[in-house]
Amino acid sequence: MKPRLSDLAASLVIIDPYTGMPENIVLGFSGVSAESEHLSRYLFASENVRGLILDIASGTCYGSSILAHDKSNYVVATDINKNALTWGKTVYDHENLDFVLCNATRLPFRSRSFDSIVSFETLEHLDDADFYFDELYRVTKNGSMVIISTPNKTVTSPLVSKPLDSYHTKEYTLGGLLNITKVHKFDSIETYCQKRIGFIRFLARIFGVVLASLFWKIEVPPILWKRIYDRVERFVVNHDATNIDPDSNLYPIYQIMTKADILRYYNLILLLRKINNIKNGFLCY
């Protein structure tokens, strides 16, 4: 018997009490802004990946279904959340889309299996980035492309070591993220960005971090903090209109990032390519 979609949706639509952001994207339940931001990444990825594609931390598999729309692709959607994969299997089941329950740092696949990998908003949830990148490198073929995204700590959690989002374990600056990818042997790296933030809103975010830290110390209930957050957010948006995501047909992943851009974007997107390393006539891995 198939599970009731309403029950599955209720188990998946979890809202962070301090940031107001959904932990899982369930299309039709998560809000237009959040859905548009996440869908845009997959639309961008669909233009860059081909063949046997691994979607790591696919969530409810809406993005995997976009990648599988091209009949020449075969997509393997993986997630650690069984309910999320059950939703994907129920709603998006397709002849060239498969579903695997697994951990992103312990992939149950043979080495050099995949032509492309997509892994959006995954890294910030992991305790050990090294295992994650080791697995990305291991299961990709030489010349394969990996596309990952993660929040920009400079904007999402400025001034504090612990991420503001209670579901995040660790967030990364652009420099820290690039250092990790280079250590793990990805030879070609392009850095893109998504979701702009204006200067006034950035200052308001810094003020909000200070306020949140104070509230955490005096143990203000999350529901009260959420009400304050909503009021501040409405005030800031009214005075500083920002480009959340334009028409999804435009694939709003902006140009390659420069150092001057780092304070103005919520999300970092990296295109990594695993290229053969040839030294002294020997192929090195």
For the chain, 285 residues long, give each residue's pLDDT as a single digit of tens: 556 766 776 667 766 555 555 677 888 777 777 788 888 899 889 989 999 999 999 999 999 999 999 999 999 999 999 989 999 999 998 899 999 999 999 999 999 999 999 999 999 999 989 999 999 999 999 989 999 999 999 888 888 888 878 789 999 998 899 899 988 988 888 888 887 777 777 777 777 777 766 776 777 666 676 666 666 655 554 444 344 554 444 555 766 776 667 777 888 999 999 876 544 444 433
Do 123 and 202 reside in the same domain of the chain? no
Do 279 and 209 reside in the same domain of the chain? no
Residues in the chain: 285
> Residue 144: enclosing H or E segment and its boundaries?
strand 140-151
Q: What pLDDT, on the 0 to 100 scale, is given for residue 33?
A: 73
Beta strands across the sheet bearing 114-120: 97-101, 74-79, 52-56, 114-120, 140-151, 265-273, 188-196
Question: Number of folded domains in the chain?
Answer: 2
Residue whose token pair is 């030489």:
142
pTM given for the model: 0.82
Q: What pLDDT, on the 0 to 100 scale, is given for residue 277?
A: 55
CB neighbour list of residue 71: distance below 8 Å, 6 or more residues apart = 96
Q: What pLDDT, on the 0 to 100 scale, is given for residue 232?
A: 63
Q: What pLDDT, on the 0 to 100 scale, is given for residue 2?
A: 57
- Torsions phi, psi of 100, nearest 5? -135, 125
Contact 143, 274 (CB under 8 A): yes
Do 79 and 220 reside in the same domain of the chain? no
Q: What pLDDT, on the 0 to 100 scale, is given for residue 157?
A: 85
Helices 222-239 and 199-217: angle between axes, nearest 10 degrees? 170
Domain enclosing residue 222, as ranges: 198-241
DSSP label at 248? G
| 150 beta partners | 268
**Which CATH number covers residue 62?**
3.40.50.150
- One-letter amino acid identity for 67? L
Q: What pLDDT, on the 0 to 100 scale, is given for residue 169?
A: 93
What is the Cα gyration radius of the chain?
19
Do 110 and 203 reside in the same domain of the chain? no
